[in-house]
């Protein structure tokens, strides 16, 4: 299945989305119509330079000690 270019300068998502919404067919309707290209309204343009994730950001994960969890311990 081919993806349509979403980087067009004059792409009006609202104008393309409205007729799709009015059909009430949804994604199933697109599949029933055997589309060959993914409509632009379903493609999110990639903007790597605008990414909010800092590659140097450090993550902290808590450590939970599960040693002895299967033993009969009155304090749980």
Query: Could you count the other beta carbons within 10 Å of the beta carbon of residue 35?
Result: 13
Residue 48 pLDDT: 47
Tell me how many degrees the CA angle 59-61-67 measures, rounded to the nearest 5.
160
pLDDT tens, N- to C-terminus, the chain (76 residues) = 555 555 556 778 888 888 888 888 888 888 888 888 888 887 876 654 445 555 566 778 888 888 777 776 566 5
Instruction: State how far the Cα of 12 lies from the Cα of 6, in Å rounded to an integer.
Output: 10
Instruction: State how far the Cα of 32 lies from the Cα of 1, in Å rounded to an integer.
Output: 14
């Amino acid at each position: 299945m081919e993806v349509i270019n979403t980087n067009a300068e004059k792409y009006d998502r609202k104008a393309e989305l409205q007729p799709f919404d009015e059909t009430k067919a949804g994604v199933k309707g697109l599949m029933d119509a055997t589309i060959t290209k993914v409509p632009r309204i379903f493609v999110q343009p990639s903007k790597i330079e605008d990414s909010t994730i800092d590659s140097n950001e450090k993550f902290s994960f808590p450590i939970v000690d599960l040693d002895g969890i299967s033993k009969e311990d009155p304090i749980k």
